[in-house]
Amino acid sequence: MYSVVKLKETWEVAKDVRAFRLSRGFNFTPGQFVMVWIPGVGEKPFSLAWKDLLVVKRVGPFTSKLFELSEGERLWIRGPYGRGFERRWDRVALVAGGIGIPPLYALARAWRKDFEGVTLIYGAKSRDELALLDIKNYVDEIVITTDDGSAGRKGFPTDVLAERKGEFKGIYACGPEAMLKAVLKTMDYRNVQVSAERYMKCGIGVCGSCNLGKYLVCRDGPVFDGFQLRGLL
């Protein structure tokens, strides 16, 4: 069942990244996703950055069309779907890579009061690709890394995690698969939850296009406990 929503506002948040404020909000757990349909174009999954907020990177025909839409135009949305993050630890690090920031932004904003301390370790290729930096209002510390050294420390977020992992009781991560693999290995697959990405078509566990080993990412994820992915990532 689709909900028809209008775009209340849209604005640029980073290079080739736009935010879309929706006319209605959705009850969700941070880490869950919605399926967004544009008639005549197709349907794609996106993690919610907040109950009424999508943050999207332009990567292909669908997102390019989405970027062309103006305030007042309509989207068809179903969901939220999938397994979100779970509150388990009191002193945590959020490890984000590139456009992996939206679900972690939602987590920090929704659960800040439940944690004793939150550190965001956020990596991007360069300064102009860093998005949603107002997350500073919901965390205690931000450590930025960039591939080219244009902001923060030159290197990768997993470099920082490897040095400081002893400071945290648990890790939440979302980003490119290579980064997630490094996070899981650094933590030996323990005390970590990651949001995995696979091609999704139906979003409800029917078509099987998003299989990850014995799991379907849309149904069993997108958030997984580290131990579930041992041998898979």
With respect to residue 206, please indicate whether it lies within any of the assigned structural domains: no
Distances (CA, A) of 45 to 29, 78, 142, 169, 179: 15, 10, 28, 30, 21
Q: 90: which 2 tokens?
A: 């009191």
What tens-digit pLDDT sequence spans the chain (233 residues)? 899 999 999 999 999 999 999 999 999 999 999 999 999 999 999 999 999 999 999 999 999 999 999 999 999 999 999 999 999 999 999 999 999 999 999 999 999 999 999 999 999 999 999 999 999 999 999 999 999 999 999 999 999 999 999 999 999 999 999 999 999 999 999 999 999 887 777 787 788 888 888 888 889 889 999 999 998 88
Q: Considering the entire predicted model, what is its pTM?
A: 0.95
Which domain range does residue 63 map to?
Answer: 3-81
CA terminus-to-terminus distance, the chain: 33
Residue 33 and residue 108 in one domain: no
In angstroms, how far is CA 192 from the centroid of its own chain?
15
Instruction: Using CB atoms within 10 Å of the CB of residue 226, give its burial: 0 to 12 exposed, 13 to 18 middle, 19+ buried.
Output: buried
With respect to residue 62, please indicate whether it lies within any of the assigned structural domains: yes
Closest listed residue to residue 77, CA positions, set 112, 108, 115, 33: 33
Last residue of a domain, one of 81, 111, 140: 81
With respect to residue 177, please indicate whether it lies within any of the assigned structural domains: yes
With respect to residue 227, please indicate whether it lies within any of the assigned structural domains: no
State how far the Cα of 169 lies from the Cα of 101, in Å rounded to an integer: 20
Q: 189: which 2 tokens?
A: 């697959």
pLDDT at position 216:
84
Structural domains counted in the chain: 2
Residue 74 and residue 99 in one domain: no
Residue 20 and residue 103 in one domain: no
CATH number of the domain within which 191 lies: 3.40.50.80
Residue 74 and residue 25 in one domain: yes
CATH number of the domain within which 76 lies: 2.40.30.10
Which amino acid belongs to residue 208? G
With respect to residue 189, please indicate whether it lies within any of the assigned structural domains: yes
